[in-house]
Amino acid sequence: MYSVDSLSGSLHQLETFLSEWTKYIEDFSLVNNSSSANQLCLKEENDHLKVCQSLFSLRVLVISIEQDKLACLQRSIDFQKEQYASLLDYNSKLEQLVEQKEATCSNLSCKRVSTETLDNAFSMLLGRQKELIKLWREDIQVLRSNFAASLQKIHVYLFHQLGILVEKFQDQQAQWMKCSQENRLLRRYIQEWKGNLRVVARIRPSLFGNECNNTALRFIGDDMITCHQPLGSSAMSFTFDQIFPPHLPQDFLYEELQPIVSSIFDGFHSCIVAYGPTGSGKTFTVFGPDGKSGVVEFAIRMLFAVTDNDPSLVATISMLEIYNETVRDLLSEDPMASLEVREDTTTGDVFAKGAVEMEMASYSDALRIIQSGLDFRSTSATLLNISSSRSHLLCILKIRGGNEHIGSLYIADLAGSERVTHSHVQGERLDETKHINRSLSCLADVFSALRNQQAHIPYRNSRLTFLLRPALSKAGKAMLIVHVSPEEQELSETIQTLRFGQRARDIELRPSKSQDSSSIFLRRQISLLRQQLADERRQRK
């Protein structure tokens, strides 16, 4: 069988031969034009050759078509061979599976169990499970009944114990209330025995770092101080309820203040007054450094220690400034506005009309309120003090139970007494000094009238004494803290301040004799408490 390429080559050779033969005939015809018979014969031959060429081309085309068909058949045969090979492979796998099936069936036939045997075994297992479930239900029922009985017994026991605890709590509460009342009465008796007006002295540390033994002041025990004057003058001695040397921290002062602060819950009007010359440490005692760790902070901590356990009690605070005999409210929106001092004719209380009383929600809130008030206080620099208070400051703490006023505590940081010959102030500072000295003189007049037990006490001569009247009366309780400096160059102001405190100590703010309880038993109790307090102080030292 010839390929298509060989046939195409033969056809090409035939076409070349025909074209050469045609050219030959044409050339021959041009040479032999005379022989028409020959030309006719050649023409016929040429036409015959062309027909043969056409037939040959057609035959070649048919052969190429048949060749394409043969190629398609060859490809189909190849594909069928591949399919046959895959079928043979699949057949071999099927034969292997059949062999495995026969082996498995033979194994199963060896291990075959009858259906009746399986049904019997399943019935036996089901019966056992039913019996176990029945037993479990019976056990659960027994446990439920036992649990209910035990729970009932526990309830009875717990209610019984609860009743016992309630009775014990009520007994202990009654005992606590009784002890609290006895402590309150004992505290009142101690305060009455010590005197409702107590005077203590506090000496600030030396600014030059001198030891106390090198100054003009000497301490004898814890209640006497002596001043050694120069030029051979005799020493002067002053006795107070307590003396706090420079090396003692403020914690020791708090022990003396505790009865005064606690009396607010007994319904008393009490006051703590810081008195002394300029630069003697009054503001440090009252407010401490940066408004903390002072008398005010200690009093607020004591108030919250009680009010936190009794939601019915509410603590409030007011801050009043007395500047040039003008009362200002440092907590109001306009701290420079002047307020009128009024008297409640029903209760006898004295108050500044329109003053703000802010409720203290927490200890930190109270410190924030105090600092906001101190920011508006009038201070100025003088020759005696770089930051001298030019006004009296009253911090008023009150306790209210519902709508009723229980008690109040006035904490006064007085402006320092000073001599113009020493401070050399002029102008506005001179007017401030005059008003300060005049109000302090009025305070001395009130103390003098109380010491002499005069019928008329000149409280109204000054805004300061008028506002302090509830606490400086015989129904009140007061503590005067006199502050002095240990420096020798300030010895004259120190002696004047100590004399003022000595005179104030002679005042007796006591109730009538019908209210004075000073039995032998109470004196023994007071003596025992003083001894315990002295032992604790020695242990701390």
pLDDT, one tens digit per residue, over 299-332 is 999 999 888 888 888 999 999 999 988 999 999 9
Instruction: Give CA–CA dist 185/337, Å, rounded.
Output: 42
* Residue 277 annotated as part of some ligand binding site: yes
With H, G, I as helix, E, B as strand and everything else as coil, classify residue 163. helix
191 to each of 262, 402, 521, 533, how far by Cα in Å? 11, 28, 16, 15
Question: Per the annotation, does 283 bind a ligand?
Answer: yes
Give residue 159's Cα distance to chain centre. 40
pLDDT score, position 534: 75
How many helices and strands, by DSSP H and E, does the chain display? 13, 17
Give the span between the Cα atoms of 230 and 214, in whole angstroms: 13
* Distance from the Cα of residue 2 to its chain's centroid: 107
Q: Among 53-57, 200-204, 320-324, where is mean pLDDT lowest?
A: 53-57
pLDDT at 117 over 50: yes
Residue 245 known to bind ligand: no
Beta-sheet strands, E only, within 324-439: 326-329, 338-339, 341-343, 350-352, 358-359, 379-380, 388-389, 392-401, 404-413
Asked if pLDDT for residue 274 goes beyond 90, the answer is yes
Q: Does 130 show up as a binding residue in the annotation?
A: no
pLDDT at residue 254 greater than cutoff 60: yes
Across the range 43-69, mean pLDDT stands at 77
Tell me how crowded residue 307 is: count the other CB atoms within 10 A of its CB: 17
Give the strand pairing for 242-244 and 197-203.
parallel
Tens-place pLDDT, residues 157-196: 888 888 899 988 888 888 887 776 677 667 656 656 655 7
> How far apart, in whole angstroms, are the C-alpha atoms of residue 438 and residue 426?
17
| Separation CA 283–CA 301 (nearest Å) | 19
- How confident is the model over 418-445, as pLDDT tens digits? 665 555 556 677 888 888 889 999 999 9
Question: How far is Cα 167 from Cα 425, in angstroms, rounded to an integer?
Answer: 71
Instruction: In whole angstroms, give the CA distance from residue 217 to residue 39.
Output: 173
Phi, psi for 258 (deg, rounded to 5): -60, -45
Q: Which amino acid is at 95?
A: E
Question: According to the model, what pLDDT value does residue 516 have?
Answer: 43
CB 471 within 8 A of CB 273: no
Is residue 211 within 8 A of residue 231, CB to CB? The reply is no
**In this predicted structure, which of 180-189, 245-254, 502-511 has the lowest mean pLDDT?**
180-189
CA–CA separation, 508 vs 431, rounded Å? 34
How far CA 384 is from CA of 59, 277, 430, in Å, comes to 143, 9, 14
CB proximity list for 180: less than 8 A, separation 6 or greater: none
* Entry pTM: 0.60
Convert the pLDDT of each residue in 520-530 to its tens digit. Answer: 445 556 666 77
Query: Treating both helix axes as pointing N-terminal to C-terminal, what angle do 250-262 and 115-194 enclose, rounded to 10 degrees?
Result: 90
Does 250 score more than 70 pLDDT? yes
Asked if residue 297 has pLDDT above 60, the reply is yes
Record the tokens describing residue 347, joined without a space: 């209760």
Is 494 labeled as ligand-binding?
Answer: no
282 in a labelled binding site:
yes
- At 346, the amino acid letter reads T
Q: Which residues are within 8 A (CB) of 478 and not within 5 positions of it... i.e. 6 or more apart?
A: 196, 197, 198, 260, 270, 271, 272, 273, 471, 472, 509
Residue 395's SS3 state is strand
Contact 436, 390 (CB under 8 A): yes
Q: Is 32 in a helix, a strand, or coil?
A: coil
